[in-house]
Amino acid sequence: MTASTWIILAIICGAVEIFTAGFWFLWLAIAGLVTAAGTSVGWLSSLQSQLLVFAIIALLLIIFTRPLVMKAIKSSDIASNIDALIGQHGVVLEPIAPMHFGQVKLNGEIWTAAAQSEIETGSTVVVRAIDGVKLIVEPVQ
C-alpha cells in the first residue's frame, strides 16, 4: 500500500472517532499516520511490514495511552437528581423515630425519612444518605 492509502485510512478513522468519541479509532488513525510516514520514507516497503507496524503501534497506543486519556478527560461527576439531596437541610413535618418513618420537606417536596434517633416535628435535619425512596436524616446540631 502507498503512503496516501494509509493517510486516507487515517482520515477515515479520525472521522469515525469524531462520531463515536470512544477513543478507539483515534489510535488507529495515529497508527495509520505513522505507517504512512514509514512508507513514504521507504522504511516499510512490503505490505506485511506495513500491516505489522500498523498493528503494533495501534495495540501499544490502545494499551498504554487510552486508559490515561480516558482518565484525563473524565469530567468530575456532578451530583444530580437524587444524589444532589445529600447534605441538604430540610424540615420535619411528621416526627421520625427509629423503626418508624416520618416526613421531611426538602426543596419544596415532601419525602419519607428515617433516622437512628427521635426527631420532633419542626426540627431541621440534614440528609446523610438515600435508601431507595427514603431519606436517611440526622438532626442538625
Q: How do residues 75-110 score in pLDDT, each as one tens digit?
A: 666 655 777 889 999 999 999 999 999 999 999 999
Q: How far is CA 82 from CA 38, 79, 109, 111, in A?
A: 54, 8, 12, 11
> Cα(45)–Cα(1) distance, rounded to whole angstroms?
9
Half-sphere exposure of 28 (CA within 13 A, CB side): 15
Q: Which residue has the cell 462520531?
A: 19
CB 139 within 8 A of CB 125: yes
pLDDT over threshold 70, residue 2: yes
Query: What local confidence, expressed as pLDDT, does residue 70 receive?
Result: 85
Output 74 or 69, whichever has higher pLDDT: 69
| H/E stretch holding 103 | strand 102-106
Give the SS3 label for residue 33. helix
